[in-house]
């Protein structure tokens, strides 16, 4: 895994959210989540398979992982990390 192999994704929960264009942006969002919710487990953050609003259909919201009700896909953030050989 390498920091140089970063593939952007969107993360959302009730306490932290945002487009993670870089590893540093991800670490900031993760820190905000963990401040309120405790340790973030990427194997529990599922991909959104439903798009309830036009806001969620925007390209920068894809792929979208998180803990909200629309995040009920089979793939997880951990799967995405492994597939893309990324380091979180």
CA gap 51, 27 in Å, rounded: 25
> Would you tell me how many other CB atoms lie within 10 Å of the CB of residue 16?
20
Phi (first) and psi of residue 8, to 5 degrees: -60, 150
Query: In this structure, is residue 88 part of a structural domain?
Result: no
Condensed to tens digits (0 to 9), the pLDDT of residues 1-49 reads 445 789 999 999 999 999 999 999 999 999 999 999 999 999 999 998 7
**pTM to 2 decimals?**
0.83
- Give the total number of structural domains in the chain: 1
| Confidence tier at 55 by pLDDT (50, 70, 90) | low
Query: Is 8 domain-assigned?
Result: yes
Domain of residue 59 covers 3-83
| Contact status, residue 23 vs residue 5, Cβ threshold 8 Å | no
């Amino acid at each position: 895994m390498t920091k140089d192999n970063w593939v952007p994704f969107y993360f959302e929960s009730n306490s932290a959210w945002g487009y993670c264009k870089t590893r540093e942006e991800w670490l900031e969002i993760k820190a905000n989540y963990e401040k309120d919710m405790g340790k973030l487990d990427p194997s529990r953050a599922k991909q959104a398979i439903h798009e309830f609003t036009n806001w969620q259909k925007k390209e920068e919201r894809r792929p979208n992982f998180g803990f909200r009700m629309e995040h009920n896909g089979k793939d997880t953030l951990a799967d995405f990390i492994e597939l893309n050989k990324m380091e979180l």
